Each structure stands twice: as structure tokens, then as C-alpha cells.
Chains A and B, each alone.
Chain A
Amino acid sequence: QKEVEQDPGPLSVPEGAIVSLNCTYSNSAFQYFMWYRQYSRKGPELLMYTYSSGNKEDGRFTAQVDKSSKYISLFIRDSQPSDSATYLCAMTPYSGGYQKVTFGTGTKLQVIP
């Protein structure tokens, strides 16, 4: 079993839709949870960063963490064609020192105008 599972998609939605992207994980040591956006032929770019359980909102994006279920989500409201990209969840236990980040495989999202 992989430490982090993420549905690869592709996920295709009409412009303006609410998008829900999800990851499950098995390592209960993970404490910090991140979502990266990766456009085609580009490096990942950090979107959201949360610690422990709860919600965090940033504009049209909401990150949700449920540690009891080992489940994290990213919601995109009023999706735009510019949101079309691959979204990678990532997480780390971080006990000091460098970050050993474990990534999901990414979900490819296409927002159709």
C-alpha cells in the first residue's frame, strides 16, 4: 500500500463548478499537509499549507484535513480555465531538520470554458 493515495483523474469540469480533490494516507506521523499545483512542463507550486486537522481558506481554495480518517481535500470554488493543471497533495511528519515530503501522484484537472 502506498503511503499516499490520490486519484489520478483526469477530472473534467465546466467553468464555474466546485471542484473537490482528495487524498488518503496511511502514515499517522504526517502532521503537515500541502497542496501543490503543477502546470504542464513546469515545477510544482505551493498552493495551500495546513497543520494538523481543520480547514484553511485562501480565496477560492479551501484545504481540509481530517486526521482521524487520514483524509485531506482541496476544494476549488468558481473554477476557472486557468485552474487546469495537475494538483499534487503532499505531506510530511517534520520532526525537525529537512522535510521528507511524500507526494501523491497528482490529479489532472481540466476546466472547460
Chain B
Amino acid sequence: DAMVIQNPRYQVTQFGKPVTLSCSQTLNHNVMYWYQQKSSQAPKLLFHYYDKDFNNEADTPDNFQSRRPNTSFCFLDIRSPGLGDAAMYLCATEPGPGLKGPDTQYFGPGTRLTVL
């Protein structure tokens, strides 16, 4: 059974046309992450939520926004996609910080974004 679901799996948008990617989870995890992964590159953390607390990475462009209306869902909004934003976008969840150390991150299958 899918635990972290991302929709759509493939998204094509036009240069400058806003796009929203969606992530949902059935794990009831407190933490949700959004990563950007370009071809042959490491996943790059964009931001994360711990419950409702939003944390933006310092180098995440303002063009990227996120919403988490409830525990199960998280959205990535790209306000004005540029050609350089074409990438795989990965959502991951985690139960929450443990006392003994970090917990496992569970990744979704990703959404591949193409910008024309």
C-alpha cells in the first residue's frame, strides 16, 4: 500500500505559469519535507514542516512556496516556473525527531516537472 503519494507523477507547465504539486501520506507523520532533485544530482532540501511549523532553507528561491492544510497533505507551489525549475520533486515524511536520534524518512515516488 502506498504510504507517501505524490500527484501528479508527471507535470508539464509553461514558462511562468503557476503550478502546484501535491503530496499526501497515510503514515500520520509529523514531519514532511520537499526536495528538488535534478538529473544526476543529489536531492536538495527546499523546506520542511514539523507539524504546522514551516521551515524554509536559506537558499530556497522565493518562487517556491508550500502549504500544509492538515497532517496528511502538503503542497508545493511554484509561482513562476523557469526552465531551471525542471526537476524531480520529492516529498518525504518522518515520524518526528526521536530522543535517540533521527528517524527514517519515507519518500514518495516523485513528480517530474517539465517546463516548456
Contacts and interface: CB of A to CB of B under 8 A. Distances in A.
B105 A41 contact: no
Contact of B55 (A42, A98, A101, A103): A98
Given A49-B104, A97-B97, A105 B42 contact: yes
A95 to B, nearest CB: 10
For the residues of A in contact with B, the DSSP-based class is: loop
A100 interface: yes
A101 B40 CA distance: 18
Contacts, number: 59
Contact of A4 (B42, B48, B55, B101): B42
16 contacts: A32-B102, A43-B4, A43-B92, A44-B43, A51-B101, A88-B42, A92-B102, A97-B50, A97-B97, A98-B48, A98-B55, A99-B97, A99-B105, A103-B42, A104-B42, A105-B41
Interface of A: 4, 8, 32, 36, 41-46, 49, 51, 88, 92, 94, 96-106
